[in-house]
Structure formats: structure tokens, C-alpha cells
Amino acid sequence: MMSISSKEHSQPSIAMRINLNKTLGGFLLAAVIATCLTACPKRPPEKKPPAEEFRRPEIVHPEDETTPERQAAAKLVNDGITALQDEDWEEAEAHFQEAIRIAPSYGPPYYWLARTKFAQEEMTQAWDLLDKAELLIGQDQEWLDRIDQLRQAISDYKESTTPATQQEPSYQI
């Protein structure tokens, strides 16, 4: 019989060490993954706004201009423009409001009502009406240019009426 010295018997073989290291490594890896899955914070799901928020108002199409409502609204707009030129703000506003009531998806009355509000120095209302007009008018470049010009006039007016203490400080030397 072969005798094994105590030194040889107490140390595991190289093959046993490799197996032990693989097993411990596997357990360690599994423990790390399990810890991350349970302890790592989860990202909350992204909140998407309801689809209704992205719906735009109906766009004015040229073929819609011939409806009786649009024709009546166009006549009211022309009457309102005449009153606006005469600086009769109340009458102009009444005509434009009536045109909007008759044809709410027709953009020009909103623009002209915005012009009236600008003349009455009601800039916030004028700006809001321009937003509505722009949505309804669509891609008609002539109208979009008019809207941009009136927006610029509103911005210029606001800048000219802002007291010096409320204006942005100048850092020029």
C-alpha cells in the first residue's frame, strides 16, 4: 500500500481548485445579478400624453371657402375691417366675434379680431387670437406673413412699454 504523506493529503489538487473556483465564481455571479435585479432602482415607464392633446383644429381648405357660413363670415369680416379703419373698435369687434360664431374654423376673423385687440392695447388677447388664426389658416403664406408682422408689432409694443427697471440689465461697459 502506498502511503500518502500528510502534506499531500491536506492540499486539494489543481483540478479540484479549478472546479471550486468555477463553482464559487458562478455563485458569486448569480448573487450579483440577483442583487441588481432586486436592489437596483427601476426606471418608471415613460408617460405619454393622451392622443387628444396632439389633435389640431381643422385646417381651412380652399374648397371650404364657398360654404354659406364662410360667405356670411367673410361679409362680416369686411364690415369689421371697415369699422376698424374708422377706429370703431366696438363695432369691429362685434363683427369679428359674429363671424367667429358663424364659422369657428375660419381663420381670418381671428386675425382681424387680433388686430382690433392690438388697437385697443390688449396684447395678450391679441397674441392668443393670432395663435388660433395661425392654426386655422394653415399654409397660406400671405396670411402667415400678416400674422408674423402683427406678432412683431405686439413684441415691439411690449418692449417699448416695459419700464426700464423691468428690462433686462445691460452688461456693456
- Which runs of E-coded beta strand occur in the chain? none
Q: Are 119 and 83 spatial neighbours (Cβ–Cβ below 8 Å)?
A: no
Which letter does DSSP use for residue 66 in this model?
A: G
pLDDT in tens, 24-71: 556 555 665 666 555 555 555 555 444 444 344 344 444 456 789 999
Dihedral of alpha carbons 144, 56, 84, 95, sign:
positive
pLDDT band per the 50, 70, 90 thresholds, residue 111: very high
The answer regarding whether domain 65-161 maps to CATH 3.60.40.10 reads no
pLDDT of 67: 87
Q: For residue 117, give the C-alpha cell.
A: 385687440
Domain boundaries, the chain: 65-161
